[in-house]
C-alpha cells in the first residue's frame, strides 16, 4: 500500500475561540523523567483538516448528516463551564462537523473498501509498535523518527475515569459507559487483563475527562498520580494547543520497557464522536501502540482521521503486541520474524 502524503492544514472554522489551524496529529516519544520514571510514550490525537484532492485518501462513505440542535447539557450545573470552555465546545463542534462532512471519522470495524494482507499487517505493526515519531531534545519535543523497543503492560491494567466538576452528569454517564465497554474490548483483543476500578487511587491507568479550566489546573493531580513526572510533561497537558484533542502518557520504571502507569487526558468539550474517538485511540496507544503510520489502513493509528474507532486491523495489532511469543524490550530485528508468524496465523483464523 503506498504511503499517503500528510494532510495539509487549512483555516479553522469561522470565529473559533482558540487560534491556529487544525494540524496533523503528532506523537512525542520516549524520554527520561526525573525520579527514575521513564516517559515511554506521549501520544496526541490531533485531527487533520483535509482538503479533498490534496493527496489524502478520501472516504467513499457519504458524509454523516448534520446533527439536530441539542439543548445545552451544561445548563443548571452547580459548577458551570467558563465562557472560554463554552467557546472551545463550539469550536470543536465545528471541527467535528467539517471532518464528518468530508466523509472522515468512519466507524466501521471491518470496512470492505480497505483490505490488507498479512505482510501489510506486519509492516504496520513494526512501524506503530517499534518506532517513535518524536523525541525529546533539550527539554522540548521535536519531530524525529527513530527506532524504539516493544512496550506493553505485564501487570493487569486497572482503569478509572475522573471528570472535571463542570462536565455534565449526562455526559459523564455516557463517557464512563464508553470507557468501561472499551476496556472490555481491549481485554478481549489483547488477551491481557484490563478492567475498571471505582477508586482512582487503585488505578494504574487514569482517564481524565476535563474542561478547559480544569485541565489548566490539573498539575497538582498529575504530580500526585505520577511522582517524578517532569515539568515538560505537565505542561503538555496544561498548555494543550487547540490542535491537540487528547493525549496519553505511558510510564515505566527506570529502563524497563514494561508499563507501570498511564494517564490519558481528554477534552470534555468535544462532541460525542470526538470524545469516543479519543477514548479509542488514546487508551489503545496507552496499551503500547505508541506511533502511527500513513500506510496503516483501516486504522486509527494514522494521521488522516479516516477512521474514528478501533478497527479489526487495529485489534490484530493489539493481539500481536500481547502475544506471549513477544516480550517487552524486543527490537525490530528480534520481533519481526515472530510478528510475521503471528500475523499469518491471525489472517487465517481471526473472524
3-state secondary structure of 157: strand
Q: Who's near 318: CB < 8 A, 6+ residues apart?
A: 186, 189, 190, 284, 287, 289
Which secondary-structure segment (H or E) carries 59? none
Joined together, the cell numbers standing for residue 182 give 472499551
- In this predicted structure, the answer to whether residue 3 has a pLDDT above a threshold of 60 is no
**Do the bridges between strand 131-137 and strand 37-45 make them parallel or antiparallel, or are there none, so unpaired?**
unpaired
Question: What confidence score (pLDDT) does residue 37 get?
Answer: 34
pLDDT one-digit tens code per residue, 77-136: 667 899 999 999 999 999 999 999 999 999 999 999 999 999 999 999 999 999 986 677
Question: What confidence score (pLDDT) does residue 74 get?
Answer: 53
**Phi then psi for 230, rounded to 5 degrees?**
-85, 165
How far is residue 281's CA from residue 298's CA, in Å, rounded to a whole number?
Answer: 13
3-state SS string over 96-132? HHHHHHCCCCECCCCCCCCCCCHHHHHHHHHHHHCEE
Question: What confidence score (pLDDT) does residue 63 get?
Answer: 35
CB atoms within 10 A of CB 173: 10
Q: Who's near 159: CB < 8 A, 6+ residues apart?
A: 179, 183, 194, 195, 196, 197, 203, 205, 206, 207, 283
Confidence of residue 73 (pLDDT cuts 50, 70, 90): low
Confidence of residue 76 (pLDDT cuts 50, 70, 90): low
Question: What is the distance between the terminal CA atoms of the chain, rounded to a whole angstrom?
Answer: 23
Confidence of residue 145 (pLDDT cuts 50, 70, 90): confident
CATH code matching the domain that covers 31-48+105-349, chosen among 3.20.20, 3.40.390, 2.40.160, 3.90.700: 3.40.390
Joined together, the cell numbers standing for residue 40 give 515511554
Question: What confidence score (pLDDT) does residue 79 get?
Answer: 78
- In this predicted structure, the answer to whether residue 184 has a pLDDT above a threshold of 80 is yes
Q: Where are the alpha helices (DSSP H) in the chain?
A: 83-101, 118-129, 169-190, 212-216, 219-225, 231-238, 272-285, 312-321, 332-349
Average pLDDT value over all residues in the chain:
80
Question: What confidence score (pLDDT) does residue 126 get?
Answer: 98
Q: Which residues of 224-257 are buried (b: 16+ CB within 10 A; e: fewer)?
A: ebbeebbebbbebbeebebbbbbbbbbbbeeeeb
pLDDT one-digit tens code per residue, 245-267: 999 999 999 999 999 999 999 99
pLDDT one-digit tens code per residue, 40-60: 333 332 222 222 222 222 223
> What pTM does this model have?
0.79
3-state secondary structure of 346: helix
How far is residue 236's CA from residue 53's CA, in Å, rounded to a whole number?
Answer: 33
Which secondary-structure segment (H or E) carries 22? none
Joined together, the cell numbers standing for residue 94 give 465545528
pLDDT one-digit tens code per residue, 279-312: 999 999 999 999 999 999 999 999 899 999 999 9
**High-pLDDT (> 90) share of the chain, %:** 69
CA proximity to 204, closest of 253, 161, 159: 159
Q: What is the mean pLDDT of residues 168-179?
A: 97
Question: What confidence score (pLDDT) does residue 328 get?
Answer: 98
CB atoms within 10 A of CB 15: 9
Amino acid at each position: 500500500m503506498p504511503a499517503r502524503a500528510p494532510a495539509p492544514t487549512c483555516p479553522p472554522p469561522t470565529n473559533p475561540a482558540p487560534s491556529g489551524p487544525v494540524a496533523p496529529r503528532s506523537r512525542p516519544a520516549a524520554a527520561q523523567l526525573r525520579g527514575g520514571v521513564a516517559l515511554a510514550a506521549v501520544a496526541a490525537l490531533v485531527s487533520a483538516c483535509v482538503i479533498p484532492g490534496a493527496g489524502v485518501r478520501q472516504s467513499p462513505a457519504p458524509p454523516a448528516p448534520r446533527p439536530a440542535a441539542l439543548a445545552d447539557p451544561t445548563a443548571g450545573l452547580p459548577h458551570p463551564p467558563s465562557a472560554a470552555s463554552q467557546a472551545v465546545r463550539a469550536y470543536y463542534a465545528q471541527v467535528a462537523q467539517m471532518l464528518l462532512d468530508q466523509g472522515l471519522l468512519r466507524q466501521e470495524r471491518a470496512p470492505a473498501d480497505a483490505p490488507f494482507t498479512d505482510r501489510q499487517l506486519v509492516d504496520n505493526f513494526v512501524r506503530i509498535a517499534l518506532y517513535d515519531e518524536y523525541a525529546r531534545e533539550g527539554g522540548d519535543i521535536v519531530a524525529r523518527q527513530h527506532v524504539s523497543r516493544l512496550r506493553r503492560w505485564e501487570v493487569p491494567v486497572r482503569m478509572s475515569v475522573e471528570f472535571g466538576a463542570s462536565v455534565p452528569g449526562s455526559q459523564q454517564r455516557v463517557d464512563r459507559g464508553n470507557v468501561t465497554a472499551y476496556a472490555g474490548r481491549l481485554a478481549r483483543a489483547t488477551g491481557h487483563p484490563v478492567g475498571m476500578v471505582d477508586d482512582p487511587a487503585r488505578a494504574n491507568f487514569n482517564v481524565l475527562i476535563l474542561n478547559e479550566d480544569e485541565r489548566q489546573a490539573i498539575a497538582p493531580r498529575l504530580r500526585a498520580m505520577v511522582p517524578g513526572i517532569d515539568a515538560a510533561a505537565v505542561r503538555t497537558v496544561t498548555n494543550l494547543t487547540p490542535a491537540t484533542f487528547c493525549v496519553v502518557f505511558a510510564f515505566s520504571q527506570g529502563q524497563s520497557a514494561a508499563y507501570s502507569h498511564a494517564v490519558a487526558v481528554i477534552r470534555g468539550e468535544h462532541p460525542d464522536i470526538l470524545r469516543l474517538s479519543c477514548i479509542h485511540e488514546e487508551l489503545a496507544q496507552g496499551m503500547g501502540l505508541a506511533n502511527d503510520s500513513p500506510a496503516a489502513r483501516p486504522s486509527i493509528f494514522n494521521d488522516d482521521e479516516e477512521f474514528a474507532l478501533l478497527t479489526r486491523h487495529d485489534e490484530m495489532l493489539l493481539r500481536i503486541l500481547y502475544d506471549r511469543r513477544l516480550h517487552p524490550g524486543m527490537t525490530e530485528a528480534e520481533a519481526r520474524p515472530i510478528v510475521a508468524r503471528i500475523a499469518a496465523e491471525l489472517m487465517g483464523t481471526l473472524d
